[in-house]
Amino acid sequence: MRHRLALIALIATLPLSACILKVHKLDIQQGNVVTQEMVDKLRPGMTRAQVRFVLGTPLVADSFHQDRWDYFYSYKKGAEGAVESRRVTLLFKDNILHSVHGDVAVKSPETAPAAAPDKPAS
């Protein structure tokens, strides 16, 4: 009798476990990760090589607009489905960084903190 009650209780609770279990969905990250700290390092007048060192190589190479680099980033949280996306566009003139546009705040050179002067060695 005792085993029969345990079996009935197990059979009764088994369908409830199907309501709790969810299929695991992976997080999807695409594009170049561009943080605010990385954008803060950009200054007008930087060369393409310096910009590439800070942000990395852009994923999209536009042969029609060679003086424009686009950085796209999206992150989709698997279970929630919430999508975070970011876009940064860099414009060059004569291979020198001219302007930065996009979804991140760009500091102007006037508001950026000045570098501390080097002290001579004593």
The pLDDT assigned to 68 comes to 93
Q: Is the pLDDT of residue 113 over 50?
A: no
Please give the single-letter amino acid code of residue 119.
K
Looking at the domain covering 26-102, what would its CATH class be? alpha beta
Please say whether the beta carbons of 85 and 74 come within 8 A: yes
User: Over the stretch 49-97, which tens digit does the pLDDT of each residue have?
Assistant: 999 999 999 987 788 888 999 999 898 987 777 888 889 999 999 999 9
Cite the beta strand spans of 1-122 per DSSP E. Answer: 28-31, 68-76, 83-93, 96-102
Tokens of 112: 């950026």
Q: What percent of the chain has pLDDT over 70?
A: 81
The pLDDT assigned to 21 comes to 67
Whether the model clears a pTM of 0.85, i.e. scores above it, the answer is no
Q: Is the pLDDT of residue 118 over 50?
A: no
Residue with tokens 């970011």: 86
